[in-house]
Amino acid sequence: MRYISTRGQAPALNFEDVLLAGLATDGGLYVPENLPRFTQEEIASWAGLPYHELAFRVMRPFVAGSIPDADFKKILEETYGVFSHNAIAPLRQLNGNEWVMELFHGPTLAFKDFALQLLGRLLDYVLQKRGERVVIVGATSGDTGSAAIEGCKHCENVDIFILHPHNRVSEVQRRQMTTIFGENIHNIAIEGNFDDCQEMVKASFADQSFLKGTRLVAVNSINWARIMAQIVYYFHAALQLGGPARSVSFSVPTGNFGDIFAGYLARNMGLPINQLIVATNRNDILHRFMSGNQYVKETLHATLSPSMDIMVSSNFERLLFDLHGRNGAAIASLMDSFRQGGGFSVEAERWTEARKLFDSLAVDDAQTCETIAEVFGQSGELLDPHTAIGVRAARECRRSLDIPMVILGTAHPVKFPEAVEKAGVGKALELPAHLSDLFERNERCTVLPNDLKAVQAFVSQHGNRGKPL
Ligand SMILES: *Cc1c(COP(=O)(O)O)cnc(C)c1O
């Protein structure tokens, strides 16, 4: 399988190189040159497979030529073996034909584990084969950091540095990062805000001389392997609800458009999906595009669903590429005008095409709490605020009651106690068994000033399993 850039000016890469690449050299994102397509008979024959076996069938074409089948199977078995629920992504019924797919049974209790548990193992496999080591430097305001650390903690060939804003992440989220020990794991608390952390990561990618030749790898949501891993659970849900003979709809709590883009790919690979609902919080750039063909940057709002607090949606460019007939030059010029003027619309036919599949809704904090309380009252299910936004959007945007509606349950409610308390459901939140002693565990973290040079010096001092590069 070969991968090409959405802006048309970067070299095509194979899977191995795309795994290590991050952004393409022309500023675009990598997508498969040709998407695999499965027949209905083939998809139907996968019913009842264990999750890792289904994952093998869905993802095999994407890694073809880079990872032999037997090795890939073993990696997938290990990846999903660490999940705490036998079904890996169980469906729970809320109402008649309405389901929540629980994607929070991984080590850090959010759906990002599905991709990052796999990414860590894929990186280690590829690096082992090449005899290389890499350094990961990432910024987090919460979920991604802990999932990335959990995913990389066993990697022999990866040192991971995660920057978080000092005293500005929740205690659960901080402890999920700082209580994981390993000579290759480095938590850095920056005396600054999340943007400061992100700026330092960007600057480190732009000038990597402090790494003395060691390669820097991105684990943010534009990494292709993360998108790829997320395609699988759309197939998994549909197969349990009568697919592919019957079509299914999905409502997806959305920030950077990675998770829902995976659903779009599942459909293009042959899975009958009737409707994809983009559910956003008050940071609603995607809702403004889907409802009014305006893709315009606005200020950032802090919400009760912080993992969806974004101003621009990095993976949206991948959808735009398809909507524009995969014309890289058109995307490059659209993105240029976005950078300069802060916004764009697309031609009416292209927008109408997108609207055949996508609907959207923006849900504010008050409505989020209302929905948590409503669902708890109806079914006793306690939703996290991100998932609640998905449920709200599903109920308002649903096109057909005959088609099963699956809401992606992206996080466990215990990670976001503030929203649950505000909803006033009066149910105590409990950490799952594997994290029950989280508040008693020792923490390891280095506090550094908001200073690029200090951070880079720390990385180069510790980037080789705690020793200097
Ligand atoms: C990351 C995240 C999202 C948003 O996913 P995208 O792929 O960025 O759209 C939603 N909910 C939770 C809990 C998350 O951690």
* Predicted confidence (pLDDT) per residue in 71-80, tens digit: 999 999 999 9
Beta strand spans in 345-396 (E): 358-362
How far is CA 185 from each of CA 74, 132, 257, 438, 452, rounded to the nearest angstrom?
24, 18, 28, 18, 19
* Predicted confidence (pLDDT) per residue in 191-207, tens digit: 998 889 988 998 998 88
60 within some domain: no
Structure pTM? 0.96
The pLDDT of residue 143 is 81
* Predicted confidence (pLDDT) per residue in 97-152, tens digit: 999 999 999 999 999 999 999 999 999 999 999 999 999 999 987 788 999 999 99
How wide is the angle at C-alpha 268 spanned by C-alphas 266 and 274, nearest 5°? Answer: 75
Q: Beta strands 98-102 and 91-95: pairing type?
A: antiparallel
Collapsing DSSP states into helix, strand and coil, what is residue 325?
coil
The pLDDT of residue 220 is 85
Other residues' Cβ atoms within 10 Å of the Cβ of residue 340? 8
Residue to substitute in 256, 264, 284, 383 for testing ligand 1 pocket (most ligand atoms within 8 angstroms of CB): 256
Closest CA to ligand 1's atom 14 = 307
- Here the CATH number for the domain that contains residue 235 is 3.40.50.1100
457 within some domain: no
51 within some domain: no
456 within some domain: no
462 within some domain: no
301 within some domain: yes
Q: First CA to last CA across the chain, in angstroms?
A: 34
Structural domain count of the chain: 1
* Predicted confidence (pLDDT) per residue in 453-467, tens digit: 999 999 999 999 989
Q: Confidence band (pLDDT; 50, 70, 90) for 347?
A: very high
Parent domain of 101:
87-108+224-423
394 within some domain: yes
Annotated active-site residue 129? The verdict is no
283 token code pair: 């940071």
24 within some domain: no
The pLDDT of residue 268 is 98
The pLDDT of residue 194 is 86
More confident residue, 408 or 144: 408
Distance of alpha carbon 361 from alpha carbon 291, whole angstroms = 8
Whether 303 lines ligand 1, by a CB cut-off of 6 Å, is no
Output the DSSP codes for 82-138.
Answer: T-SSTTSS-EEEEETTEEEEE---STTSBTHHHHHHHHHHHHHHHHHHHT--EEEEE
Whether 263 lines ligand 1, by a CB cut-off of 6 Å, is no
- Work out which ligand 1 atom sits closest to the CA atom of 259: 7
